[in-house]
Structure 1
C-alpha cells in the first residue's frame, strides 16, 4: 500500500507519454504519406525544411516532458517518486501546447502552405508573457504626474475606508 500515489502517477505518466509518442508518429506519418506520397508533384525542399522544423520541435518538447515524467528510484530499486504531474500547467502545459500546435500546423500544411503562419503564435505568446515579466521590473512613470481633484478625492476616500477596522456583527443569544 505504500507509495500508491507514486505508482499511480508513474503509470499515468507512462500512458500519457505513450499517447504523445503515438500522436507525433501519426502526424509525421500522415504528413509524409500524403504530402510526399499523394501530392509528390508539389513536394519541394521547403516541405523538407518544414518536416525538419516540426520534428525538431517534437523532439525538444517530448524529451523535456519525458525527463519531467521520469520516476526516481532508491538504490534498492524501490519507487521514490512517480515523476512530475503532467496535468499541471506552467512549463509542462506550454510544452504540451507546442506539441499540439506543431501537430496542427504539420497536418494542415498538407492542405496549404499558409497554415505555417499559425506557428507564429508560439513566439508571439512568448513575447507577450515576457513583456509582462519585463514590465514588472520597469519603473512606473506615474510619480511625476499630477492627479486631478476627482481622482485625489476618490483615492483619499478609499484610503480612509481601508484604514477603518471592519466590524463583525455577532448574534446575541
Structure 2
C-alpha cells in the first residue's frame, strides 16, 4: 500500500505521454500523406522547412515533458516519486499548449499556408507574460506601500477592538 499515489501518478504519466506521442505521430502521418503524397505537385522546399519546424516544435516540448514525467526510483528499485503531475499548469501547461498549437498549425497548413501565422501566438504570449512580470517588478514599490497602508489600518483596527474589550472587564 506504500507509495500508491506515486504509482498512480507514474501510470497516469505513462498513459498521458503515450497519448501525446500518438497525437504527434498521427499529425505527422496525416501531413506527410496528404501534403507529400496527394498534393505532391504543390509541395515545395517551404513545406520541407515547415515539416522540420513542426518536428522541432513537437520534439523539444515532448522531451521536456518526458523528463518531467520520469519516475524516480531508489537504489533497490523501489518507487520514490511518480514524476511531475501533468495536470498542473505552469511550464507543463505551456509545453502542452505548444504541442497542441503545433498539431493544429500542421494539420490546417495542409489547407492553407496562412495558418502558419498562428505560430505567432506563442511568442506573443511569451512577450505578454514577460511584460506582465516586468510591470510587476516596476510597480512593486507602490504595491508594498499600498500593502503597508492596509496592514497598518488592519493593525490599528485590531488594537482598537482589543482596547475596547479590555475596557469592558
Return the TM-score normalized by structure 1: 0.82
SS for the counterpart of 2:87 is coil
1:48 is paired with a residue whose SS is helix
Match in the other structure for 2:55: 55
Structure 2 unmatched runs, 5+: 143-149, 162-169
Note the aligned Cα RMSD (angstroms).
Answer: 2.2
Match of 1:41 in 2: 41
Q: CA deviation at 1:136?
A: 1.9
**Matching residue of 1:154:** none
SS at match of 1:88: coil
Alignment correspondent of 1:81: 81
Q: Where does structure 1 lack aligned partners over 5 or more consecutive residues? A: 143-157, 168-173
The structural deviation recorded for 1:129 is 0.2
CA distance in 2, matches of 1:13, 1:160: 47
CA distance in 2, matches of 1:159, 1:22: 53
Cα distance 1:141–1:164, how it changes in 2: closer, same or farther (>3 A)? closer
Counterpart of 1:24? 24
Structure 2: how far apart are the matches of 1:109 and 1:161?
Answer: 58
Structure 2 CA distance for aligned equivalents of residues 95 and 75 of structure 1: 31
- When structure 1 is superposed on structure 2, of 128-137 and 14-23 the one drifting more is 128-137
State the SS of the aligned residue for 1:110: coil
**CA distance in structure 2 between the partners assigned to 1:141 and 1:90 by the alignment:** 26
1:135, distance to aligned residue in structure 2 (A): 1.4
TM-score by length of 2: 0.84
